[in-house]
Amino acid sequence: MAATQVVRSEWTKIRSVASTVWTLGLAAVVTVALGVLISWFSKNEFDKLSDNEKLSFDPTFISFAGMSLGQLALIVFGVLVVSNEYSTGMIRTSLAAVPQRGTFLFSKMAVATCLAFAVGLITSFVAFFLGQSVLGVHKASIGDSGVLRAVIGGGLYMTLIAVFSMGVATMLRSPMLSLGILMPFFFLISAILGNVSATKKFGQFLPDQAGSKIMQVVTPVDDDVPYGPWGGLGIMVLWVLVAVVGGYVLLKRRDA
């Protein structure tokens, strides 16, 4: 089967499964709504901040505060895109129709990545503009130095989270196992490792901790991270590549 036919087939599969579509919508709604809420709280609490906290105040990054929760829906999206066929047993039929496993996997990932990027980029811009409208006099402008990079970076970050999840799901095959590892890792373990002094130096190189740096415009006063926004995104890309290559290698080596 030609690659273009495989891509069309994967687009039909993703579009026809309601759960994958809903998870993308949920990621957008949660990210924007929580970002607006936290921006509103931040505006009301600004006068109570210390001098150092005011110097570190990053209105752009605050508008993306909802992404920490919204990314969980993207994890679910990435896992479902890959593992739905394993859980239903359709993977055997799919691989019989497309025996070139690389074509099968990367066509699926290409379609899902484009969807995640489109949703992520729109969500990032909406979260920014709504968040800034709530922040009032403390807001940033899209034309300010580093802001456009941060907003586009928000869309890239959301996309990479989804692709990383697809790679992990391809390796593990089971949706329950994939979600059972990814959810606590991003929602709990990474946050703990990144904030505990004994593990902070390691935690800052985890995919979400490093990748989120692309959305920062103001560097915190006490920041000792040894990389900048693009360096952090580069670290996240490396994690994604490892996950995708690992998934591809295992898919090639084992039975459906």
Is residue 215 scored above 90 in pLDDT? Answer: yes
**Cα separation of 112 and 110, whole Å?**
6
Check if the beta carbon of residue 76 is closer than 8 Å to that of residue 174: no
pLDDT band at 150 (very low <50, low <70, confident <90, very high): very high
- Please name the residue ranges forming H helices in 136-174: 147-172
Average pLDDT, the chain: 91
Check if the beta carbon of residue 36 is closer than 8 Å to that of residue 134: yes
Phi-psi region of 62 (alpha: psi -120 to 50; beta: other; left: phi over 0): alpha
pTM of the model: 0.93
Q: What was the pLDDT predicted at 256?
A: 56
The string of pLDDT tens digits covering residues 16-29 is 777 888 999 999 99
Domain boundaries, the chain: 3-253
**Cα separation of 239 and 225, whole Å?**
18
